[in-house]
């Protein structure tokens, strides 16, 4: 969402979501972001990366959805994909635990992750969607309740209604609540505690979600995800 009000978005997603950009809440969100920048606030990710999850994974390519909450609020981390950080950044604790679970599920691969940029996942059809797409520097959750949640709720609803046989990975109560609109008759919904160090030991570790996801994809005639392919 550029400051001029023009939306630059992957064409398939723009077609699906066009009505949302005409609604009052989106105009209010746009005004809020413009005002924050004019007041000298630093916002992450960069403006051209707000919709990076949608731009990298077009609507017709989505086969897996991972829901996050907010972008990282430290310099150089967020780039519009949930749980992902740009190359060269230290791995956040939740991402370390995600990588640990994958490595435990695929011990035969014996691959070490060199960085935390998950663009390679997004390019394989994994929509890495945060509920809130922007944040102020050093202020976690600072843009919650400004409208992004309404927008991303619509993303989840459109995927549930218009697609078949998707895998939704919902970690933690926040993601599970956001996924309440998903039609479980059409899609596989995998739920567990969040990979945060505060909760990972309560059931994220050992959830076997990554293997379950691939088994479901293969059973439904789709290519499995290579969880070790990053960028």
Kindly name the residue from 70, 104, 110, 153 that is annotated as catalytic. 70
User: What end-to-end distance do the CA atoms of the chain give, in Å?
Assistant: 25
70 is catalytic: yes
Under a CB-based contact definition with an 8 Å cutoff, are residues 199 and 209 in contact?
no
Catalytic residues: 70
């Amino acid at each position: 969402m550029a400051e001029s009000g023009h939306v630059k978005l992957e064409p398939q997603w723009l077609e699906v979501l066009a009505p949302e950009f005409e609604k009052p809440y989106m105009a209010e969100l746009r005004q809020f972001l413009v005002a924050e920048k004019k007041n000298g606030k630093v916002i992450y990710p960069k403006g051209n990366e707000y919709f990076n999850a949608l731009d990298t994974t077009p609507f017709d390519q989505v086969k897996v959805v991972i829901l996050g909450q907010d972008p990282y609020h430290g310099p150089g981390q967020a780039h519009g994909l949930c749980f992902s950080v740009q190359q060269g950044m230290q791995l956040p604790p939740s991402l370390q635990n995600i990588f640990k679970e994958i490595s435990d599920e695929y011990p035969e691969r014996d691959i070490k992750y060199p960085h935390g940029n998950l663009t390679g996942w997004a390019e394989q059809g994994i929509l890495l969607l945060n509920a809130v797409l922007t944040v102020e520097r050093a202020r976690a959750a600072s843009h919650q309740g400004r409208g992004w949640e309404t927008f991303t709720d619509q993303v989840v609803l459109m995927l549930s209604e218009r697609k078949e046989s998707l895998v939704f990975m919902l970690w933690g109560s926040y993601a599970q609540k956001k996924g309440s609109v998903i039609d479980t008759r059409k899609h596989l919904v995998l739920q567990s505690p969040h990979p945060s160090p505060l909760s990972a030991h309560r059931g994220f570790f050992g959830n076997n979600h990554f293997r379950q996801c691939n088994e479901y994809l293969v059973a439904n005639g789709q290519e499995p995800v290579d969880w070790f392919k990053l960028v």
